[in-house]
Chain A
Amino acid sequence: MATDYATLKKGGFMRQKQKNHFSLRLAVVGGQISTEQLVAVTEVAQKYGHGYVHLTSRQGIEIPFIKLEDIDEVKEALAKGGAVPGVCGPRVRTITACQGSAVCPNGCIETEELAKELNDRYFGLELPHKFKFGVTGCQNNCLKAEENDLGIKGGVRVEWIKDKCISCGLCEKICREKAISIKDGVVSINRDKCNYCGRCALGCPTDAYDTTQGYMLSFGGLFGNTINKGTAIVPFIEDKKTLFAVCDAALNFFRENANPSERFKFTIDRVGRDKLDEAIWKAYEGR
C-alpha cells in the first residue's frame, strides 16, 4: 500500500531523508509541556527513536527516527502521558507564547491562557498555506511577534492618578519613548508616542497609574525564504472579543484570497493591502 505522506504530515510526522523514518512533531501550546508529557516523550524517544529529542525553533518538540511501522504504537505510548502529535503543512501551526504576566515581571498580559484559547479556536485549521500565531507579553518582544503571520503583543494603556503621585519624576526618566512630560507637578502623556510598554506604571513608586491591558496586532510577518516584519493595521485592542473577531477576519481573508502555497504576506501584496485593512477595520469596529 502506498504511504499517504500528506496524512502523516497533517498528523505531525515529518518525512526524514532516511527512508521510512519520521521526525514526530508534538503539539505544544505556548511552549508549556507537563512533566508527565515529558516522561512519555522520553520513553518514546528511548524505545522508538534514537534516544534524543529536537527542540524546534517554534517551541515544539520533535522525536526523530520514528519508523513507519511503529507509528500507531508511538501514538498510543504518547497518549498515555497526555502528549499528542502536532501538525505540519498548510494549516494553523503551533501557537507560540512567552510566559507572560503569570511569571514574568515585565509581562503586560496573560499569555498562557490566550495561547490555549487561540489553540482551541484555530489550531490545525486547514488553509492555503501554513499560518503562524505568536503571543508575546510585552514590548520586550521575547517571542518576536512580528515574525508571525499574525503576531499578538501585550501592552497596557496608562492613566495618571494625580492623588497618588509624589512628583518624583521617575516615570519621565523611565519612559523610553519620551511620551511623558511633567510640568508643575502635572503629568502629560503623549498618546502618539506611547507604545503601551507599561514601564511607567511598573516603575512608579506609588502606583500612580491606572492600567488597562490590551493587545497590539501585526499582520503578514515572515521569517523564512523571505523576511518581512508584520505590520499593524488597527490600534490597541482592549478586549478579547474584538481580538478574536480581528483574528477571524485575518484568517477568513487568507482563506478566501490566497492561492495554494502562498503565504499571508504575499496574498496581501497581490490582493492589495487596502483590501486587508478594510476587512480588519470592519472586524475591529464590529461592523
Chain B
Amino acid sequence: MAETEIKVDDKIDITDVVCPVTFVKTKVALEEIDDGQILQVHLNDGEPVQNVPRSVKDEGHQILKLTDNEDGTYELFIKKVGD
C-alpha cells in the first residue's frame, strides 16, 4: 500500500502483546514523540484492530490511515496531538 506519502517518526510492533498492553505500549510510544510527529503501529487483526484505534482517537490523537497487510496484521498511522 502507498505509505510513502506519510513520513513516519517512530515505529512500534504490538503484535506480541494482548489487550490492554497493546494500548499501553501505543500510549507510551506516543508519549515519547513530539506533537505533530507520526507513529506507525504494527498490530494484529481482531481485538487489537477493533480497540486500539478507537482508544487512540478517544485520547485525542489523529488517526491518519490504517492499511491492511493482508497477512492478519495492519499498519496504523497516528499523528500525536498534544493537550
**B-contacting residues of A (Cβ < 8 Å)?**
105, 166, 168-170, 173-174, 202-206
Contact = CB atoms under 8 A, between A and B. Distances in A.
Contacts of B58: 105
Contacts of B66: 168-170, 205
Contacts of B27: none
4 tightest Cβ-Cβ pairs between the two chains A and B: A205-B63, A168-B66, A203-B54, A174-B50
A166 B65 contact: yes
B50 A205 contact: no
A233 B50 CA distance: 32
Nearest to B50: A174
A112 B52 CA distance: 29
Question: Size range of the interface on B?
Answer: 10 to 19
Nearest to A174: B50
B65 A203 contact: no
Contacts of B57: 203-205
Given A168-B66, A169-B68, A202 B49 contact: no
29 contacts: A105-B58, A166-B64, A166-B65, A168-B63, A168-B65, A168-B66, A169-B66, A169-B68, A170-B49, A170-B53, A170-B66, A173-B45, A173-B49, A173-B50, A174-B50, A174-B54, A202-B54, A203-B50, A203-B53, A203-B54, A203-B57, A204-B57, A205-B53, A205-B57, A205-B62, A205-B63, A205-B64, A205-B66, A206-B63
Chain A residues touching B, majority SS? loop
Nearest to A175: B50
A203 B55 CA distance: 8
A13 B22 CA distance: 51
A168 B77 CA distance: 11
A204 B53 CA distance: 8
